[in-house]
Each structure stands twice: as structure tokens, then as C-alpha cells.
A and B are shown apart, each in its own frame.
Chain A
Amino acid sequence: METVFTRTPTLKDCTTHYCPGCGHGIAHRLVAETIDELQIAPKTIGIAPVGCAVLAYDYLDVDMIEVAHGRAPAVATGIKRTNSDKIVFSYQGDGDLAAIGTAEIIHAAHRAEQLTVIFINNAIFGMTGGQMAPTTVLGQVTATSPQGRQAIGQGYPLQMSELLAILPGTVYVERCALSGVAQIKKAKKAIKHAFELQIGGANGLSLVELLSPCPTYWRMTPVEAMQWIEKEMTKVFPLGCLKNDQ
């Protein structure tokens, strides 16, 4: 019989701790496929965030480091500057990258660090129990915005990719969604492009934002969560390439 689909070697043969319908598992798979297709596993160093993906090092079979909440871009800078022959990527949630680690990502981009960033935007703090994130959309009910997010007092959803794309230090910024086969295929292409840029020595940071379902704290079924991304999230976070300098 012909094999049409298998595990990709960089994705370890184990069950993850992610909830059913979670986007993290899909994102891991795409990163792992990319690493394998580009044959860079032996020279890749990955950075796990603090967030639901904190155990990413248990799932991705490359050298990995777990770091303090939000500090991944600084740690990545320390790694890449001292190891220019390595491919360095960080994998960060929206609490990690858009709240506590805003300074680190802005400045890594501003310094044009040769890094690849996979940014998982699920409009929520998943790990700590579904609190409001800077990316939570207006009206969205969370553990800390029980009346629904209000612009006045709680702020507008923060569009990190738009913000980062205007910095001269980024070479590539694209927003994709993990909301269905077609979108996932686009996401894969974007992730691969971001890694290829680093491999080719592009002079700056490449970032792919992935709108990612969190059915658990959106209080939806996995299918509803996918639909909510396409109907609601993309209104605030439009899909597409924001910058491609190369």
C-alpha cells in the first residue's frame, strides 16, 4: 500500500498535552515539516515560550531552550549572535510576544536580528486559564473581561504584525490562519519562506503570525473555533503578507 501521510521526523512520536482542536499541534507540525524539508534539524535551535506551548521541547526533536515569559527574542539574540551558523527560531504566544515580551520582540526586530519568529495569536492567555490578551477582540468574553472586552479601559486588540512590519529591521511579516486546509497550506508556505530567509542570510527578522484556535477558552467546539477565526478574528487581524523585502 502507498503511504500518503506520515509523521515528520522532527515531530516526536508522542501525544501532546494540547486540548482537542487546539492550533498549537498544527503549528508544531508545520514547523517540524519545514525543518525536515529544509534539512536543517542538526543546526536548528528552537526557543519554547511560557504559555501552552511551554513543552514544545517535548514535541520538537531539535536542540531547544525554555526561557522566561516573553524573553525569547532576547535569548534568541544571544544564541544567534554567538552562533551565526545556526538556524534560530522562537515560538511565542500572544501573551508572551504581545504583552510581557513586547519590548524584546520590538527591539530584536529593530536590531534586524537574523531570527525566525512563529507567533501564535489565539486572542487569549490559554495557559493561565483564558484571560484577556492584548490581542483579544472587542466584545470577546474572557476570564478577565467578563463583560466582553471594552476599548476604553481595556484597550484595542494589538496588531503586532502591522507594528513590526513598519520597522526596517524586519524582512518578512505575514499573517496566516490555522482555520482550514487551504489556510493551513498557506501557513506552511509562509513558515517555510521565513526559515528560508534566515538560511539565506537575509538581513533581518522574519515573522509569521498564525491565528490559532483555542476552543477551550473560547468556549466553542473545534469547528466553531475554526469558523470564528474566519468570521471574527480576520476582521481585526486581516490575513496576508504585510512585508516581503527579499
Chain B
Amino acid sequence: MSEKKLICGNEAMAEAAIIAGLDAYFGYPITPQNEVTAYMSRRMPELDRVFVQCESELAAVNMVYGAVATGKRAMTSSSSPGISLMQEGISYLAGAELPAVIVNVMRGGPGLGNIAPSQADYFQATRGGGHGDYRTIVLAPSSVQELADFMSLAFDLADQYRITVMVLTDGILGQMMEPVILEKKKQRKLPPKNWALTGAKNRKQNIVRSLWLGDGVLEELNRKLQKKYDEIQKKEILCEEYEIENAEIIVVAYGIAARIAKGTVDKAKKEGIKVGLIRPITLWPFPAEQISRAAEKAKAFLTVELSCGQMVEDVRLAVAGKVHVEFYGRSGGGVPSDSEIMKEIKQLAAKR
């Protein structure tokens, strides 16, 4: 059971979802996550579970909408352009309070962009590209093991809060092979799905809907949603704080950028620079408090992303002007290198 397997991120994520009790996978091929669709097309029928290659991501997200409305665990995965097409469905999932899991293996944009790794969908994931007052939980793994581990967490969070959980990763983690342990995780205690469409047998009709026409009814629903989002913000923030005790410079990075930056932080410390790392694991809810606390002691922040600067806006909001927040990013397939990050850290250190 708990033996290590050398496997790529996309396949590890797919198998982990299956272990977490995935009933149905709906997808449309797109690079760099094609391994997921291919893996699911083989494994799901083997297990007598559902796999459908859809006509579009629009269809995929709506098939998920249908399957999860009946109480099943269902997911889809895609990469940036496909996730853009899913935004309509994500908004409806939020309105109908359905639990869904969606994986975005990000690639370069805007437009067709390219197939290189990217983190440029941070705004879309955390702010919602769909319409209306809603949130989705966003999990950002930084290793193949975490990518796998977060699948059961994603399904549990989705079921617990009746919310869409997006696992936000990138082309590097999707393609990279690492030794991983794939095992069944202990499930959270989850509420019964008595709202699900299972046929109105010996009970009243169940209705799944996102339409609320009466005077003030939608506002009431939105208040209820906000209460749920507040609860998630209180209880579900995940964040790694690495060597921040005496740090004067705090690097903030998530996903693959954090993985790279962590190595740089280690090197810089050896050179005597007081530097630490904060790695948001949930991008929403965002670990603003942890960053705000660190801003009391640190002298400067450096946010590193595979984008032109998206998460840095949340970092600046959390730091609230207490200290300077620098940004370093590469975009359109560029990946910040260890030496590039080191240069930025040294420049900040020299200003102290």
C-alpha cells in the first residue's frame, strides 16, 4: 500500500482522485494535462466507474454539475484555456452550492498562449472568472506528493462546504516525475447529502437550482454563502512558514515557484542573509494573517511568481504598507531561476 512509486504529477493526481472515491471523470484533452484524460480513460472503466471524453470543457463542467447534483464525487481537469470555458459552470456550481473538484494544470496565456508552465491564472482562480458573488477554495501543491495528497482533501472540502475546490498547479508539476506514496486518507466527518437528486422516493421532491427570483431571496442566499466563506476563511487556511523566525526578508511564493525559492532561501541563509519563506497552500482562503504577522518583524518582502504579478496584490494587501513588497516574476513560459531569485534577495539585503 504505502510503497513509493515513480510517477508523473498528472497521473499521481488522477490515481489519488480515484483512491479518494471519484465516481466520474469528465474531460477534454489539452496540454499539459493530457496524461490525466488518458489515465482516466483506462482506469475508470477498469473500476466500473465513469469516464467521458466530452465535446468541450463547457460540456465537461456541466457533466460534473449533473453528476455531483446526484451526490456522486466527480471531477474534471484542464489547462488554462479550458478552465476559461468552464467559468460559466463554476458560477452555476457556486449558485447551486454543489461540491465539485476541478484541476487546472496552468499553461502560458493570454489566449492560446503556449504549453509551457505558468501561474498566470491566479486572478481567475482566486477572484473567479465567472459572474456573481462567489468563492472557490484554491489549493496549490508544490510537489507531486502534495498534488496527490490534495485530491482527497479537495473532495472532503467540497463535500463539507458544498463548494467547488480548484487544485491549481502547473505544467512542471503535472509533467514532473517524483516518487510518491498513494494511499487512502482518513476521510473527514462529512454531512449527509440529503439535498441530492436520487429520485423522490418516500420523500419530498429535491430541487437543485441557482435561480432565486423572489424579492430579497437571492440576497439572502448570498448572505448565507458569505457566512460559509467566512467559516472557510477561519478554519481552512493552509500555509507553510519556513525559517521566518528571524528573517528580515520574507519570500512569498506558491506552487512550483515556492519549490524553487525554498532552495534559494537555503543558499542565501548560508551566505548569512536573514531570509525566510511563506508558502500559501490555500490561495483562497489566503493566509493574509500569517503574512501580516510576519510584516511586523520583517524589513522587506519578495513575491516570486510565474506571472507578471498576481498574488503579489494579495501580499501587498496583507502587508498593508508596513514594509516594502518587491516582485519578481517570469511569464509566458519563463521560470524564475535560483540565481535570478538570489539576485533579487541580495538587492533587497543590500538596501537594508
Contacts and interface: CB of A to CB of B under 8 A. Distances in A.
B54 interface: yes
Contacts of B205: 57, 61-64
Nearest to B56: A103
Interface string B211-245: 10000000000000000000000000000000000
A42 B205 CA distance: 9
Interface in A54-86: 54-55, 57, 61-68, 71, 74-79, 81-83, 86
Contacts of B56: 103
B203 to A, nearest CB: 9
Contacts of B64: 78
A41 interface: yes
Nearest to B202: A42
Interface residues of A, number: 34
A44 B66 contact: no
Interface in A11-29: none
B150 interface: no
A242 B197 CA distance: 33
A74 B208 contact: no
A193 interface: no
B209 A74 contact: no
B66 A77 contact: yes
B62 A71 contact: yes
A75 B70 CA distance: 11
A169 B6 CA distance: 41
B52 A57 contact: no
A101 to B, nearest CB: 10
Contacts of A78: 24, 26, 62-69, 74
Contact of B201 (A43, A66, A68): A43
Interface string B85-129: 000110010001000000000000000000000000000000000
Given A65-B197, A67-B65, A74-B62, A79 B207 contact: no
Given A81-B52, A82-B23, A76 B199 contact: no
A66 B207 contact: yes
Contact of B55 (A67, A75, A107): A107
Contacts, number: 127
A64 B59 contact: no
A207 interface: no
B58 A62 contact: no
A208 interface: no
Contact of A104 (B24, B62, B198, B210): B62
B206 A63 contact: yes
A42 B66 contact: no
Which has the most chain A C-beta neighbours within 10 Å: B50, B56, B66, B197?
Answer: B66
Nearest to A75: B66
A45 interface: yes
A54 B92 CA distance: 14
Interface residues of B, number: 39
A65 B66 CA distance: 8
Which has the most chain B C-beta neighbours within 10 Å: A78, A104, A107, A110?
Answer: A78
Given A77-B52, A78-B26, A81-B52, A63 B63 contact: no
B200 A61 contact: yes
Contact of B209 (A57, A62, A76): A57
Given A41-B200, A45-B197, A76 B207 contact: no
B208 A66 contact: yes
Contacts of A76: 66
Contacts of B50: 81-82
Contacts of A110: 55
B197 A81 contact: no
A74 B63 contact: yes
Contacts of A63: 197-200, 205-207
A79 B199 CA distance: 11
B72 interface: yes
A112 to B, nearest CB: 12
Contacts of A104: 55, 58-59, 62
Interface string A149-183: 00000000000000000000000000000000000
The 4 closest A-B pairs by CB, nearest first: A78-B66, A78-B63, A74-B62, A42-B201
30 contacts: A41-B200, A44-B199, A45-B197, A57-B205, A57-B209, A62-B205, A63-B198, A64-B206, A64-B209, A65-B69, A65-B197, A65-B207, A65-B209, A67-B65, A67-B66, A68-B88, A68-B92, A71-B58, A74-B60, A74-B65, A78-B24, A78-B63, A78-B67, A79-B197, A81-B67, A82-B50, A83-B198, A104-B58, A107-B54, A107-B59
Interface of B: 23-24, 26, 50, 52, 54-56, 58-60, 62-70, 72, 74, 88-89, 92, 96, 197-202, 205-211
